[in-house]
Copies of this chain bind each other. A is one copy, B any other.
Amino acid sequence: MTQASGGGRDAESVSKFVESFAAQLVEAGMQRMAARVFAALLASDKGVLTSAELGEQLRISPAAVSGAVRYLAQTHMVSREREPGSRRERYRVHGDQWYEALTNREAVLKRWEAALREGVDSLGPDTPAGRRLAETLAFFEFMEGEVAAMMERWRVHREKTFGM
């Protein structure tokens, strides 16, 4: 049997969750196919699916899977594994790694900071606009440190709550 009672793991329940969570991700700016693939992985039993499984479950072409997976791997939301002795590839969501990646807007922050620094510079640090930019810059610099500390606290909290 695929599934029996109550809180079911039947195809429809899974699909319902996948689509609704993906919709949230899309709204937050993620590409649609990437979001759907990611949600499908999250909802899978092992946290691992092959390209074919993804394609079948989501009803999308191999090309779409390929594109989505490339994006997800680049942003470290999933990792790819070569199933040894086969040309199949498997994609895995690492459970605790992906939201760290989510927080890893670090690269993004760095670029924002660079743009702001240039702005302070070119508008002049003593102009009102320059001061405004400088304060914004300070905020991002502050954030960067805080986020790191926060993730550390999360790890501790996680151990306590979910055991290791």
Let me know if A127 and B9 touch, CB within 8 A: yes
Let me know if B9 and A44 touch, CB within 8 A: no
Whether a CB of chain B sits under 8 angstroms from the CB of A42 is: yes
Known: A115-B21, A122-B8, A150-B150. A132 touches B42 (CB 8 A): yes
User: What separation, in Å, do the CA atoms of A53 and B21 have in the docked complex?
Assistant: 41
Which of B29, B111, B112, B146 contacts A150, CB < 8 Å? B146
Let me know if A42 and B121 touch, CB within 8 A: no
Q: Tell me whether chain A's interface is mostly helix, strand or loop, or mixed.
A: helix
Find the B residue at minimum CB distance from A96. Answer: B135
User: What separation, in Å, do the CA atoms of A42 and B118 have in the docked complex?
Assistant: 13
How far is the CB of A76 from the nearest CB of chain B, in Å? 16
How far is the CB of A159 from the nearest CB of chain B, in Å? 12
User: What separation, in Å, do the CA atoms of A143 and B14 have in the docked complex?
Assistant: 26
How far is the CB of A4 from the nearest CB of chain B, in Å? 11
Let me know if A118 and B45 touch, CB within 8 A: no
User: What separation, in Å, do the CA atoms of A47 and B13 have in the docked complex?
Assistant: 50
Which of B16, B28, B129 contacts A42, CB < 8 Å? B129
Known: A16-B122, A20-B118, A125-B7. A153 touches B146 (CB 8 A): yes
Whether a CB of chain B sits under 8 angstroms from the CB of A43 is: yes
Find the B residue at minimum CB distance from A102. Answer: B139
| Interfacial chain B residues near A143, Cβ < 8 Å | 150, 154
User: What separation, in Å, do the CA atoms of A124 and B21 have in the docked complex?
Assistant: 16
Interface CB pairs A-B, < 8 A, 9: A8-B122, A9-B127, A28-B105, A29-B29, A42-B133, A43-B129, A46-B128, A139-B154, A146-B153
